[in-house]
Amino acid sequence: MVSKKKFMTSVATSLAIASIGLTTVGQVAPAIGPHVQVAQAATSAINNYITNNNIKPVSITNQEGTFNIWQGYENGVGKPEGVVIHETATPGATAQNEATYFNREWSNMYSYVHAFVDANEILNIKNTDYAVWGAGPTANAKFVQVELCEVSTTDAFARSVANQAYYTASKLVQYNLPFTPGVTVMSHNDVSRKWGETTHTDPVGYFAKWGYSMDQFYDLVSKYYNQLKGTTNSGSENNNNTANEGSSDIANTNVIKVSNSKGSYVPLVAFQNDGSTKNITNRALANNSPWYTDQFKVSNDGVTYRRVATNEWVDNNYVVG
């Protein structure tokens, strides 16, 4: 959310002076031992709704607004480092409503973003080669910024979040950026916590009203990102190793059942930037539980893993069906 008050004066001053298969880990069973929690399979209802109803994002509409500050990012014009996700906190207002308001009031609010998204429209109102004033000086100098409009029905929310995820993925592809959750795609809440220049927590609270989360949103961005890149089996490019596409050891189905014949739960790992893996010690999968998976990856030591959450992977040897 970009506040419609003058809390961003310092942002304006500083810039003026300077001139796309989806899955989440949801329900958690009682802990095994003092630290390990076993996750029961729980897919995202919203992401499943998008898939089951064949919801397709709309095309991006470009409508240059009135924001007349042509300031490049810290790395230069046309060199953003990612996308910040906002929501408007104005129930019922459409993308066009918000664009009209910001075009009229930005010089009084000292706030502006690149785009607004609702269930029917992706409206880009500022050339994303240039920075805007939406999330504090540090983030403004690094990120494209997009606002999600608040809606009142599940169908509208699903369509709007699909549009926002698609816009986000398209900007990563446009600027040849990797998709790295929490780094190249951040919520305003992430920005506030990382740099402390704003206190906003969007879109976390609004997402929660729909039983949705940033992790689920990341999965949706991953889907569109991979589609736009033309690599439906590749990873999220959050490390230097890509998936071993075409491996004959991987089943074609997207739903897998996992079980550990030598233990009471199935362990998970996280991939590191160098392609190695690190054991996840506080979470695991329940034996004989089904999981939706959209990616596979081979680690440096030759082990094949299946992705079951944003950066949670299960050894393919535990897949039993």
Range of the domain at 66: 6-19+45-229
Distance between CA atoms of residues 71 and 59, nearest Å? 26
Q: List the beta bridge partners of residue 32.
A: 36
What local confidence, expressed as pLDDT, does residue 293 receive? Answer: 75
- More confidently predicted of 254 and 90: 90
Return all residues near 303 (Cβ < 8 A) that are at least 6 apart: 277, 315, 316, 317
pLDDT-based confidence at residue 85 (cuts at 50, 70, 90): very high
Q: What are the DSSP calls for 136-197, one per residue?
A: -HHHHTTEEEEEEPP-SSHHHHHHHHHHHHHHHHHHHHHTT----BTTTEEEHHHHHHHH-S
What local confidence, expressed as pLDDT, does residue 220 receive? Answer: 94
Total number of domains in the chain: 2
* Lookup result for tokens 């969007």: 202
Terminal alpha carbon distance of the chain? 43
pLDDT-based confidence at residue 242 (cuts at 50, 70, 90): very low
What local confidence, expressed as pLDDT, does residue 43 receive? Answer: 52
Helix (H) or strand (E) holding 208: helix 204-209
- More confidently predicted of 68 and 14: 68
DSSP strands (E only) in the chain? 25-32, 36-41, 60-62, 82-87, 115-117, 122-124, 143-148, 185-187, 255-258, 265-271, 277-286, 289-292, 296-298, 304-309, 312-315
Instruction: Tell me the per-residue pLDDT of 297-311, one tens digit each, with 9 for 90 and over.
Output: 888 888 888 888 878
What local confidence, expressed as pLDDT, does residue 234 receive? Answer: 34
What local confidence, expressed as pLDDT, does residue 81 receive? Answer: 97
Answer yes or no: do 265 and 166 share one domain. Answer: no
User: Is 1 a domain residue?
Assistant: no
The CATH code of the domain that includes 125 is 3.40.80.10
What local confidence, expressed as pLDDT, does residue 132 receive? Answer: 98
Q: Give the pLDDT mean for 120-126.
A: 97
92, 156, 216, 217 from 55: Cα distances, Å? 21, 11, 16, 15
Amino acid identity of residue 137, one-letter, is P
User: Is 162 a domain residue?
Assistant: yes
pLDDT-based confidence at residue 143 (cuts at 50, 70, 90): very high
Answer yes or no: do 57 and 126 share one domain. Answer: yes
Which of 229, 263, 287 is the C-terminal boundary of a domain? 229
Around 88, how many Cα atoms within 13 Å sit in the side-chain half-sphere? 27
Give the rounded percent of residues in the chain with a pLDDT score beyond 90: 61
Give the lowest-confidence range in 54-58, 105-109, 274-278: 274-278
Highest mean pLDDT among 29-38, 170-179, 271-280: 170-179
What local confidence, expressed as pLDDT, does residue 288 receive? Answer: 86
Give the lowest-confidence range in 8-12, 67-71, 114-118, 192-196: 8-12
Give the lowest-confidence range in 28-37, 109-118, 245-254, 261-270: 245-254
- Whether the full predicted model's pTM is greater than 0.75, yes or no, is no
What local confidence, expressed as pLDDT, does residue 114 receive? Answer: 98
Answer yes or no: do 84 and 12 share one domain. Answer: yes
User: Is 249 a domain residue?
Assistant: no
User: Is 211 a domain residue?
Assistant: yes
13, 181, 213, 229, 244 from 57: Cα distances, Å? 36, 20, 19, 16, 29
Pairing of strands 296-298, 255-258: unpaired
Answer yes or no: do 163 and 297 share one domain. Answer: no
CB atoms near residue 17 (< 10 Å)? 8
Give the rounded percent of residues in the chain with a pLDDT score beyond 70: 79
